[in-house]
Amino acid sequence: MTLISLTFPFIENLYLLGFVLFLQGTCIAPLLPNGLPIVTHSVTPSQMTQAITLATAGIPLTGAISSFFAGQIIDSYGASTGFWLPFLFLFIGVLSTIPYRKLYREV
């Protein structure tokens, strides 16, 4: 999914962009079933319902937050800047996982 989004700034054909966005959408589908086992193995059984709820609720919440910031950046710097935003959000996503490296190794 990340590799597909890195091509956005270099696509000049609208139909090709639509196809690439379709491919990226198909890459999102496996994330939830593969991500929930990580959540369930990371918490105690008494906290499992809350952890799954928070993980599932976090998906649309982070989509809304990133869309808000992307809209602000596009309004300020132009639409072509929006195609570079996946790089920014990728960097932020990688930085946000660094504190949890030990936890991921144990799972």
As a whole number, mean pLDDT of residues 7-24 equals 89
| pLDDT, tens only, 45-103 | 899 999 889 888 888 888 898 889 889 999 999 988 888 888 888 888 888 888 877 66
**Mapping DSSP to helix (H, G, I), strand (E, B) and coil, where does residue 6 land?**
coil
Q: Is residue 44 within 8 Å of 52, Cβ to Cβ? A: no
| Cβ neighbours of 60 (radius 10 Å) | 9
Length of the chain: 107
Number of domains in the chain: 1
Q: Is residue 11 within 8 Å of 20, Cβ to Cβ? A: yes
Indicate the residue type of 34. N
Domain of residue 25 covers 2-106
Answer whether 0.75 is exceeded by the pTM.
no
